[in-house]
Amino acid sequence: MKRKILTALLSAVLIANLPANAIDELTDMHDDGKEAEIKKVLYGQLTDKQVFSLNNYAADAATSGASVDIITREDIKDQNTPFISTLLNQLGSVTYGQGSGGYGQPSKLIIRGSDRVMFTIDGVRVDSIVGTARTTNLSNFLLSDDYERIEVVRGSQGTIAGHTASGGIVALQTRRGSGRLKMEAESLFGNYGYFKERFAIMGGNEKFDHYTAATWFKTDDGTWLEDNGRRGDNTYNNLNLVGNYGIRFLDGKAELRDIIRYSRGRKNLGMNIFNDGMLDYDYAVTQDFSNALIWHHDVNKYYDYDIRTSVYNSNYDMHYNPGYQYSTWTGLGIDRSHYRTNQNGTRFDVGTQQNFNIADWNRLSLGYNFEVENSRLQTAGLSDWGAWMGLVPEENYERAHTLQHDVYLQDCINIKDILFIRGGARMISNSKYGTWVTPNASAALVLPTFKLDGAKTTFRGSWGMNVNTPTLYQRFGDGGIYVLPNPNLDPERVNSWDAGINQSFFHDKLSIDFGYFNSSYKDYINYNGGWPGQYVNIGRVKMNGYEGRLTWKPNDKFKFVFNYTYTDAEDQDNNRQVDLVSHNRINGTIVWTPVERFQAYIGVEGGTERTANGGTVSLPGYIDVNMGTLIRLFSWKDAHFYLQGDIYNLLNQKIACGYYGAGSRIFRPGINFRLGLFVKYALPEKTKEKV
C-alpha cells in the first residue's frame, strides 16, 4: 500500500513538471482577477484581512483587538482538503475531533481549552438544540467544498454574537456565484471505503447570483477500539444539499439573500464494547435543515441596516438492531427489538442591526434579536427496565421550549488610524434563566516599527463576559438508565480576557504573533458520570495559557504557518485538567505553488497527553502529518481537468481521539488516502456580432 501511495505521488510531481507546451494554456485554478473583483464589489465579499462576525459588517481584522484567524476560499483551494476539520486543526489554540471520534459521531470543537464555542453558518447557529452538550456535530457540515470563508475568533464575544459564544466563534460563509455560468464535478475514492461524488452549478451578474451544490460521501470510518480492535460496521453515509441565491435592488444598494442547507447522515453503530451483544446498536440517522433569509440595505453613507430571519431544525433517530435484548446481562429475558430514540429540536431566530456612521472615525450599532427553541425528546424501549428501576415511564415524551429577547449596543472608534477601540454590551432576557448583561471591550494600538521600513507593531487586548445556557436535553431529556434530567441547571458564566502583540516585517510578508489568554467559568456545566449520570453545575473552572504564531509568505508561491499553544484548563473543584485538553499543542502548514498548474501542501497537528471520562482515561500524545496536491492535467475548450489527492496520518501513529463506554480508548485509522478527479467547466463568454 505504501509503495502504491509513493508511486502515485511521484507520478503527480512528474506530471506537474511537464513542459508548458504539453498542457493547454488557460486561466489558473483560481477565478481570474476580473471575476474576483466583480464578486468583491457587487456581492459584498470580504478580503482576507477583514472579519465579519465581530461586528456583523466588514471590519479590519488586525485592528479589531481580538485574536482572529481567517480561512479564505483561496486557502481552502490551496490545501485542497475535503474536510473543514483539517483546516481548523491547523489553527492556533483550535482542536477538533476530541470526544467519541469517527465520522458521523459528535466530536468536540475546542478553542483555548473551552468547547463552549458558537458555530454558525451564514449567521445561523447550528449547535445541537437537543444534544447532550451545546456543541456542533461537524460531521453533518464537514465538507469544505461549499464554503467561501471560515472565521475563527477566540475569547468571549457576547455583544454581537450573543450567548453561547463564551469560548469563541467559528463562522462559516457559503459560497456565492459570480460571472458566467460555471459547473464543478468531483469524484474521489480512498481506502477505508471512502467515496465522494459532488456536483455544483453557479454564476451571477449585477442583479442576481446563484450557487447550488449536492454532495454525497461515504466511508466505513476506520476508527478502532482498544483491546477489541476494529469492531462491527461503522459506515457513515452523508448527503449535503446547498443553495445560496441573492438578488439586488436599488442600483445595488439593497440585497435580499436566501441560503438553504439540508444534510442527512446515517451512521452505523457497530463498535460494541461488550462481547455478549449487550447494547448492540444498529444505526443512527441525523437530519439538519437550515434556512436564512437576509435583507441588507445601504441607505446612504451615514446609515445602513439588515434584517435576518432563520430557522434551524435538527432531528436525531437512534435504532437498535432486531436482536437487541437484556437477557444476556440482567436475566430478565426482555426483548426490546423495537427500541428507538428520537430527539427533535427547532430554533427560530429573527433580528435586526442598525448601523450609524456618526463620523469618519465612529460607527455605532444597535441591535435586537428574538429567539425561540422548541424540543421534542422521546426515549422508548428501555421502558421495561427503566420502569423496573423506577426511572422512566413506559413511553417517555418530553416537550420543552425557551423564549429569549436580546438587545445590544456597540461602538467602534478609530483615532487617527493608530488607536482602535470597540466596546458594547448585550442584555439577554430568557424565559427560563432570567436576565443577564454581557459587556465586551477590545482595543488595538498600531505603531510603525522604529527605523524599519514596511514593519509595524500592533498591541491588542480584549475583555468580555458571557453566559452559556444549558441545552434542553440537559434540563429535560430523560435517557432512562443513561442520563437523568436536571431541571435545576443554571447557566454558566465566564469572565475572559486576553492580550497580545503582533510584529510584522516586509509589508506583512513575515509576521510574529504572541499572546496570553485567561478565562474563568462559574457554575460550569459538567457531566458527573455514573450510571445513570446527570449534568450538574460545578463551582469554578479556569483556563489560561499562551499562544504564538509565525507566518512567512515571501511570494505568491510559498506560505509557511506555525502555531504553538500552551493551555492550562483546570477544574478547580477537582484539581485536575479539563478532559480532552492538551497542555501543549503544535500545528501548522506549508503551501507550495511552484507553477500555475501544480500546488501542494503539508499539514501538521499534534498535542501532548490528555485525559477523558472524568480523568479516568489517559489519551496519549500524538503528531499527525498530512499532505495533498492538486494538479491540472489538461484542458479541453472551456473544461479543465485536475487530479487531486491527499494522505492523512502519514506517520501511521496510534492517535487516540476519545473514549467509549466504560473507558476504552478510540483510535483514528492508520494511513489513509484519497485520490480523484476534479472538473471545472465555464460556459463560453458571449461575443457581440460586428455590424
pLDDT of residue 481: 53
**Band (369; pLDDT cuts 50, 70, 90):** very high
**Band (388; pLDDT cuts 50, 70, 90):** very low
Domains and CATH numbers, the chain: 2-682 (2.40.170.20)
Name the residue with higher pLDDT: 341 or 256: 256
| pTM exceeds 0.85, yes or no | yes
Residue 557 reports pLDDT greater than 70: yes
Residue 56 reports pLDDT greater than 50: yes
pLDDT of residue 529: 64
φ, ψ at 650 (rounded to 5°) = -60, -25
Residue 180 reports pLDDT greater than 60: yes
Residue 332 reports pLDDT greater than 90: no
Q: Are the C-beta atoms of residues 529 and 613 closer than 8 Å to each other?
A: yes
Question: For the residues 198-209, what does the mean pLDDT come to?
Answer: 93
Whole-number Å distance between alpha carbons of 628 and 636: 25
DSSP codes of every residue in 275-302: SS-TT-EEEEEEEEEEEEEEEEEEEETT
Closest CA to 353 of 58, 56, 84: 56
Residue 17 reports pLDDT greater than 80: no
Q: Which of 28-37, 216-225, 633-642, 676-685 has the lowest mean pLDDT?
A: 28-37
Residue 651 reports pLDDT greater than 50: yes
pLDDT of residue 321: 59
Question: For the residues 648-658, what does the mean pLDDT come to?
Answer: 88
Residue with cell 444539499: 241
pLDDT of residue 686: 64
Cis peptide before 620 (omega within 30 of 0): no
Q: How far is CA 609 from CA 199, 439, 547, 606, 619, in A?
A: 41, 35, 18, 10, 6
Name the residue with higher pLDDT: 280 or 304: 304
pLDDT of residue 33: 45
**Band (478; pLDDT cuts 50, 70, 90):** low
CA neighbours closer than 13 Å in the CB half-sphere of residue 214: 1
User: Looking at 117-163, which runs of residues are DSSP E strands?
Assistant: 117-121, 124-125, 147-154
Closest CA to 28 of 445, 556, 453, 559: 556
* Each residue's pLDDT tens digit, 235-269: 899 999 999 999 999 988 999 999 999 999 998 87
Question: What residue type is assigned to position 390 of the chain?
Answer: G
Measure CA 76 to chain center.
Answer: 14
Question: For the residues 210-233, what does the mean pLDDT come to?
Answer: 81
Name the residue with higher pLDDT: 588 or 377: 588
Residue 351 reports pLDDT greater than 90: yes
Q: Which helix (H) or strand (E) holds 76?
A: helix 73-79
Q: Which of 196-205, 533-542, 673-682 has the lowest mean pLDDT?
A: 533-542
* Residues in CB range of 478: below 8 A, 6 or more apart: 377, 379, 391, 392, 396, 398, 484, 485
Q: Percentage of the chain surpassing pLDDT 90?
A: 46
**Band (603; pLDDT cuts 50, 70, 90):** very high
Residue 546 reports pLDDT greater than 70: yes
Whole-number Å distance between alpha carbons of 208 and 102: 40
**Band (386; pLDDT cuts 50, 70, 90):** very low
Beta bridge partners of 644: 630, 676
Closest CA to 237 of 287, 304, 171, 170: 287
Question: For the residues 175-201, what does the mean pLDDT come to?
Answer: 92
Average per-residue pLDDT for the chain:
82
